[in-house]
Amino acid sequence: MKLELRGISKAFGSFYANKDIDLVVDDAEIHCLLGENGAGKSTLMNVLYGLYQPTEGQILLDGKPVAFNGPGDAMAAGIGMVHQHFMLIPVFTVAENIALGAEATKGPGVLDLQVTRKKIREISDRYGFDVDPDALVEDLPVGVQQRVEIIKALVREAKVLILDEPTAVLTPQETDELLEIMRQLKANGTSIVFISHKLREVRAVSDVITVIRRGRVIDSVGAETSTTELANLMVGRAVELNLNKEPATPGAARFQVRGLSVVNDLGATSLDSVSFDIHEGEILAVAGVQGNGQTELTEAILGTQPVAAGSISLDGIELVGKSVKQVLRAGVGFVPEDRSVHGLVSEFTIEENLILDLYDRPPFARGISMNLDVMRKNAAAQISDFDVRTDNQLNPASSLSGGNQQKVVMARELSRDLKLFIASQPTRGVDVGSIEFLHRRIVAERDKGTPVMIVSTELDEVMELADRIAVLYKGRVNGIVPGNTSREVLGLMMAGVSAEEAFAQADFATSANEPVEAQPVPLETTEHTDTQEGEAQ
Amino acid sequence: MSETKAPVVPDPKKPGNDLFKSITQGPGLVSVLGVIVALVIGGLLIAVTDEKVGETAAYLFARPSDFFSALWSAGTESYVALFNGSIYNSSQGFAPLLETLTVSTPLICAGLGVALAFRAGMFNIGAQGQLIIGATMAAYVGFAWHLPVVVHLLLVIVFGLLGGALWGGLVGLLKARTGAHEVILTIMFNYVALYLLDFLMNTEAFRRPGETNPISPILDANAVFPALPGSRLHLGFLMAVLLTMGVAWLLNRSTIGFEFRAVGHNPHAAQTAGVNVARSTILAMAFAGALAGAAGVAQVAGTEKVLTAGVAGSLGFDAITVALLGRSTPWGTFFAGLLFGAFRAGAVNMQITTGTPIDIVLVVQSLIVLFIAAPPLVKAIFGLNRKKKRASATESTQAGAK
Amino acid sequence: MTTTVPSKSAISVLPSKKTPIIFSVLAVIVLVSFGLLGNSQTASFSLSSAGDAFSLPDLVFPGRASNIVIGVLLAALAAYSWMLRSKGRVLPVWSVAVGAVLFVLAFLIWVVSGANINSISLASLLAGGVVLAVPLVFGSLSGVLSERSGVVNIAIEGQLLGGAFTAAIVASVTQNAFAGLIAAGLAGAVVSLVLALFSIKYLVNQIIVGVVLNVLVSGITGFLFTTVMQEDPQLYNSPVHLPTIAIPGLSAIPVIGPILFKQSVIGYLMYIAVFLVWFGLYKTRWGLRVRAVGEHPKAADTLGIKVNRTRFWNVTLGGIVAGIGGSFFTLVAIDSFTKEISGGRGFIALAAVIFGRWNPIGAFAAALLFGFADNLQVMLTIIGTPVPSQFMAMMPYLVTIFAVAGLVGRSRGPAAVGDPYVKE
């Protein structure tokens, strides 16, 4: 089926998430929508899927204009969507989830799940999915849940399948498998709209790549376009990913994690004997695919996650067993991975958010009595220091853009003398201008001599900031390597390959031809020449 | 979330389903209009059930003017009686106002208890039970112990607050420890308290000697609030004023209040910032309970001077409407308490002079809360512009965060 | 937020200590308080009542001796559950049920053997319990219907009260009990419509609407009771009652007969309603959609299910069910309407929803338990027991507190209950 979008605009209030978008997806084509976080890709797809009504513009299917009042209309027209956050009901079985909304019935409205089970098995067999129709969705791994979503669309005979950031939660292996499934779907005549901001995947599978920036279509190009070129189109200027930071001058090991294990509520080990050091004046980046224990690691250090075994010490003081307040008082600055949930009280004013973890200590409070004057002056100073864009510090934090919210969190955490600075996903959902600003502040903190730990799933960010990189895989440290380690090696390590083997394989791959990594990516700063295996633990 | 939404659009599904925000949407004008609509509907209810209106309706088409004048007078007469009984009338002057203040006292205290819990993100439906336990402990100290002046009253107050704090704190403890929802817990605790009081009132320790009815001995003269001569107004009202000031300070200028509010809006962020969420939850419920307990003290050591099984009346539930009308701010609650106190006080006079049952107060009270909670409805009734919705939502958030 | 890496657990986690502890405590209570310190007189339970087709012998237990035996049995169960726990296993459901039944039996033996009259009719205890449970069952079904679709229903009390009032006035004026029954359903629906309108359309916090609605209905019915009903009780407050229909033959079976086959129309409707709601929720397309809307409305929306419409109709349907339940007060149980006739039973129904884990059958069982406790309280007062009736009356509330606090199993509601659904 041929899908065409003409002049689509979508406004939220005075803000245009999409503006005059034109897009043509041909029959049996894999069409990629490439753009940064926040470029407006998901909004566009929600318009296409009938979840949002376009402010202006037209959607055409096989040349005929259509209007969707809801996802039901879109589905009936042959459009299926796999959302970034899966639209599955955890307490339902696979069959119930897939039947929902398109139930087979016998008699007056009585469910007949047998029909659905049969369909699931058919599709499962055709594409080699291994999905049990009677399993509860909440018990399934993420990769399998994604397949359930794909089956859901296929059962509804989708001719156009939208995949919204499908690889964000997958390991490199699972990603390869997904790309293979996409090729198979294409061979069977399904058109695919593939949303991503990961250049390598996009180039590996797409027929056409449409780049979106700030809600507008910038260009449509072929898969042969180089990564640098795509990156430039995506961010709108020559990408200069080098901060030109001074080489680290690490001092003594100040922060030590030894044999740290965390067991979750279900009894599964989410961190398994994790050990590493961070030295004075260095940035250790923790890399890995989302969901490999990063959240548990930072939360265990902060004290919001019970520790099953191991020790965490800062300047010789044991942090395990201490309350969050005691950990913060010990000199830990903490930027959580999800600022709107853990970093800010969005209804509080900017002033209040700037002292969210300082409110009960001098000069902001004496005893239980707060000094609101000091709070105000502090806010004015921080706002100008971090260039937070707001017209009034009494506005709620929710009135700020993502980048400015992150600046508030970062300003707060960096505003006191730190003995350790931890930032999780420090620039997730932040505009490019602010990213650079925030990165410079992180490096500045390192240069003051503070040990810094950055947790990021964005390889670019890891490679840019890190002096050393620890790769987490299934809750274990799968090696600690130098900051200039190549992307291929890190990718392999993130997939569970040991550091030694990863280096060996990567050397081989540059001469042979690796499927996903079609050619070396020119975004790196340096080649991996000095492979200090001694660093790996 | 990969896509940043337009910054001004409030995210409807924030973590924790912000309770405080949900009850404070809409500007002040809507509150006033909401009160007016509620009064009009109440007036219509009075009018249509009026006998004279019924009679004139029989010949509505023959002489419609009779019908409408009967309708008008039935509605207005009741409200005039309400006003006469609560604020001013020609024979007593402003004496009814003193009665309004008396009736308001427990409403304000219990309303503060509900409001404080709201601010900490909890829905305290348990003011009723907390009030009962507070009143029970206060009354026991008041009639069973015999102590010198001042000391005795102070102890009565302390034990009343303690009783409420205990009952509220227990809910906080269960919520913090087990994650049980406070709405369910407080509803259940209300009934447990009710039956507990019922049981106690049938014991030797609580029942007045020689009485078969469940009524306690009268509290010692030293144990009750001094009253203004010639009225029922007692010093308990001063306690309500002081508590309002105290709660205002606590919420806006103390670290404890900062923690309450942070936990109320976003417990995850509060925890990450080092706030002990469990302790904050327990403390907030204990404080809320203590305030409801103060309402119990106002009843047994002020207005009633004895303990009966019906000491709480419907105060605990009225307190919820008071806090909602007052938008959970301390002074808002204070004035809402005065308004509903006036309704209560005036309703007595209204029932005597026009025969309108007191229940009409419940109707008006609940309608007011419904209307102010749904500004778009009120605006629709008055044909006001709906486009200002977003601006007003932001406005109220700011007001709430202060 | 939390990530689960599927890997083998290095540190094994033992199951919760709650169950073994509770059983141990119960064993001690039965053994010591009910047994050793209990009364040595007998407790007899009669199973037959007048009009039965055949009569069964009374069950007679020696007070102290039987409770010592039961205490030992409970202790054995406790030991068994400690043993299982040390092996990382939990007590099977059947043994939990056996333990609960044993404890209830011990309690009954203890109170009856210690009472002034050492005999109680088990048949009427059960039959009366079912009768008292009727409005609770209807109320809890209303809660289940509403909350399964994601709308908190605190307004059950108001729905019951509205139904009771309307049934009384309509059945009086029309002199037709069935007209009253239908009117009661409509009245419950009206209360629900307000709940739906404010919570779904105007996005007012659902708990607030529920609480306020209870006050509103109480105010309106109280007002109209005084201004209308009391003006002419003959005309407005003398409802015709629904007859009790005894099914010939079956109703004469001892114990079971009066419970299943000698009910008012509303009583029979109750059994039908429980079955229909259960079947509807779990076996039909409608039910799958309703549960989806209550668990993950956005997911349901992306599949073309109208979230708010579903909620609207479910809340309304719940209102009809609760309204019919309310009519039980004025069309079956009591001669005429009085203020606050529902007397807080809406909140017990809410408790039954939670204790029954949002499942119609579970809620039905919980409502029966609460009705039974209510009746037991009345009967114990008659035979003169050492237990103050107030403590028996507290039972449903205490049990619910234990349930929500997770002391007896975890009670978790539909994931999206209480959250309004707003399309961006």
The pLDDT score that the predictor gives to residue A523 is 35
**pLDDT band per the 50, 70, 90 thresholds, residue C119:** confident
**Gap between the Cα atoms of C320 and B124, Å rounded:** 29
Mean pLDDT of C144-165: 96
From the CA of A367, how many Å to the nearest CA of chain C?
A: 35
Residue B15 CA to residue C42 CA, distance in Å, equals 58
C97 touches chain A (CB under 8 A): no
Comparing A71-75, B103-107, C206-210, the range with the smallest average pLDDT is: A71-75
Which chain A residues contact residue C308 at CB under 8 A?
none
Q: Is C422 on the interface with A (CB under 8 A)?
A: no
Q: How many CA atoms lie within 13 A of B376 on its CB side?
A: 13
| CATH architecture, domain defined by C123-404 | Orthogonal Bundle (1.10)
Cα(C85)–Cα(B74) distance, integer angstroms:
72
- Residues of chain C numbered 144-173 and touching chain B (CB < 8 Å): 154
Answer whether C202 sits within 8 Å of B374, measured CB to CB. Answer: yes
Q: Per residue in C79-88, pLDDT tens?
A: 988 888 887 7
In terms of CA atoms, which chain A residue is nearest residue B389? A13
Region of residue B129 (left: phi > 0; alpha: psi -120 to 50; beta: else): alpha
Mean pLDDT, residues A43-49: 88
Check if C248 contacts A (Cβ < 8 Å). Answer: no
Residue with tokens 């609207």: C312
- With CB atoms and an 8 Å threshold, state whether B191 touches C394: yes
How many Cβ pairs closer than 8 A exist between chain A and B? 141
A10, two tokens: 């979508």
pLDDT at A134 over 90: yes
Q: State the chains in contact with A (3 or more Cβ–Cβ pairs under 8 Å).
A: B, C
Nearest residue to A164 (alpha-carbon basis) of A176, A153, A180? A153
Which residue in C has a C-alpha nearest to residue B192's C-alpha? C394
CA distance linking residue C359 with residue C281, whole number of Å: 9
Query: Is residue A415 a contact partner of residue A382, using CB atoms and an 8 Å limit?
Result: yes
What are the two backbone dihedrals, phi and then psi, of residue A221, each rounded to the nearest 5 degrees? -135, 170
Q: Is C207 on the interface with B (CB under 8 A)?
A: yes
* Cα–Cα distance, B127 to C23 (Å, whole number): 34
Lowest mean pLDDT segment, chosen from A169-178, B61-70, C317-326: A169-178
C73: closest CA of chain B, how far (Å): 30
Minimal Cβ distance to A324: which of B21, B262, B272: B272
Over residues B211-240, the mean pLDDT reads 91
Mean pLDDT rounded to a whole number for chain C: 87
**Cβ neighbours, 10 Å, residue A224:** 9
CB contact under 8 A, C3 and A270: yes
Contact A323 B401 (CB under 8 A): no
Q: For residue A262, what pLDDT band results from cuts at 50, 70 and 90?
A: very high
- What average pLDDT is seen over chain A? 85
Domains of chain A: 3-235 (3.40.50.300), 240-331+417-537 (3.40.50.300), 343-416 (no CATH)
The predicted pLDDT at position C335 comes to: 87
C171's CB contacts (< 8 A; 6+ apart) are C177, C179, C180, C181, C183, C239, C240, C241, C330, C331
B273 interfaces chain A, CB cutoff of 8 Å: yes
The answer for residues whose C-beta is within 8 angstroms of residue A189's C-beta and 6 or more apart is A27, A28, A159
- Residue identified by tokens 């920036």 is A213
- Cβ distance B12 to C422 less than 8 Å, yes or no, reads yes
Query: Range with the lowest mean pLDDT among A190-199, A205-214, A428-437?
Result: A428-437
Q: Do A269 and C1 touch (CB under 8 A)?
A: no
Q: For residue C123, is pLDDT > 70?
A: yes
Element containing residue A411 per DSSP (H, E): helix A402-414
Residue range(s) occupied by CATH 1.10.3470 in chain C: 123-404
Which pTM was predicted?
0.85
- Give the count of beta carbons closer than 10 Å to the beta carbon of residue B204: 6
**Of B255, B390, B397, Cβ closest to residue A359:** B255
Quick check: C272 contacting A, CB < 8 Å? no
A78: contact with C, CB 8 A cutoff: no
Q: State both tokens at C392.
A: 């028996």
Peptide bond into A363 cis (omega under 30): yes
Q: In A424-498, which ranges are continuous DSSP H helix?
A: 432-447, 459-465, 487-494
- Helix (H), strand (E), coil (C) string for C100-157: HHHHHHHHHHHHHHCCCCCEEEHHHHHHHHHHHHHHHHHHHHHHHHHHHCCCCCCCHH
Q: How many CA atoms within 13 Å lie on the side-chain side of C306?
A: 9
Q: Which amino acid is at C335?
A: D
Q: Which of residues 430-459 of A touch C (CB under 8 A)?
A: none
Interface of A with C in 464-483 (CB under 8 A): 474-475
- How close is the nearest chain B Cα to the Cα of A58, in Å? 22
Which residues of chain A make contact with B274, given a CB cutoff of 8 A? Answer: 323-325, 327-329, 357
Give the nearest chain B residue to C408 (CA atoms). B178
- Residue B389 pLDDT greater than 60, yes or no: no
CA–CA distances in Å: residue B360 to residues B365, C198, C216, C227, C309: 8, 21, 9, 11, 33
- B163 vs B170: CA distance, rounded Å: 11
Task: Please list every residue in chain C whose beta carbon sits closer than 8 Å to the beta carbon of residue B14.
Answer: none
Q: Does B40 touch chain C (CB under 8 A)?
A: no
* Interface check C219 vs B, CB under 8 A: yes
H or E stretch including A56? strand A56-61
- Whole-angstrom Cα distance, residue A200 to residue A459? 12
Q: Which residue has the higher pLDDT, B284 or B230?
A: B284
Helices C265-283 and C177-196: crossing angle, nearest 10°?
Answer: 40
Q: What is the mean pLDDT of residues A207-236?
A: 82
The residue type at B291 = L
Quote the CA–CA distance of A142 and A145 in Å, as a whole number.
Answer: 5
Which residues of chain B lie closer than 8 angstroms to C357, CB-CB?
none
Q: Is B13 an 8 Å CB contact of chain A?
A: no
The answer to whether the Cβ–Cβ distance between A429 and B274 falls below 8 Å is: no
Residues A224/A213, Cβ–Cβ less than 8 Å: no
> Using the beta-carbon criterion (under 8 Å), do B268 and A395 form an inter-chain contact?
no
Q: Answer yes or no: is pLDDT of A276 > 70.
A: yes
Q: Higher model confidence: residue A258 or residue A509?
A: A258
Short-list C263, C146, C260, C268, CA closest to C213: C146
Chains that touch C (3 or more CB pairs under 8 A): A, B
Paired tokens of C389: 């009736």
Do B180 and C208 count as a contact with CB atoms less than 8 A apart?
A: no
Query: With contacts defined as CB-CB under 8 Å, which chain C residues touch B179?
Result: 406
Given this model, what pLDDT does residue C385 score? 76
The 8-class DSSP code of residue C78 comes to H
Looking up tokens 């490999």 gives A292
For A209, the enclosing helix (H) or strand (E) is strand A208-213
Query: Which subunits sit against B, judged by 3+ Cβ pairs under 8 A?
Result: A, C
Q: Do C204 and B185 touch (CB under 8 A)?
A: no
* Strands, E assignment, A234-307: 253-263, 269-279, 283-287
Using CA atoms, how far residue B199 sits from A190, C392, C394, C397, C400, in Å, is: 73, 11, 11, 16, 20
Q: Are C367 and C133 in contact (CB under 8 A)?
A: yes
Of A358-362, C63-67, C131-135, C296-300, which gets the smallest average pLDDT?
C63-67
Q: Do B401 and A348 touch (CB under 8 A)?
A: yes
pLDDT-wise least confident of A306-310, A433-437, B209-213: A433-437
In contact, A288 and A245? CB cutoff 8 Å: no
User: Is a pLDDT exceeding 60 seen at residue A161?
Assistant: yes
Give the closest of C5, C283, C302 to A474, CB-based. Answer: C5
User: Of chain B residues 165-194, which have a CB less than 8 A from chain C?
Assistant: 174, 177-181, 183-185, 187-189, 191-192
ipTM above 0.90, yes or no: no
Nearest to B18 among A347, A372, A402 (CB): A347
Separation CA B22–CA B369 (nearest Å):
13
Backbone angles phi, psi at B117, to 5 degrees: -65, -40
- Per residue in C367-394, pLDDT (tens digit) is 998 898 888 888 888 887 777 888 888 8
- Residue of chain C minimizing CA distance to B193: C394
Adjacent-strand bridge partners of A60: A4, A65
Total CB pairs under 8 A between chain A and C:
129
Decide if A272 and C302 are in contact by the 8 Å CB cutoff. Answer: no
DSSP string, B90-155: TTTBTHHHHHHHHHHHHHHHHHHHHHHHHHTT---TTHHHHHHHHHHHHHHHHHH----TTHHHHH
**What pLDDT was estimated at residue B58?**
77
Q: How many CA atoms lie within 13 A of C419 on its CB side?
A: 21
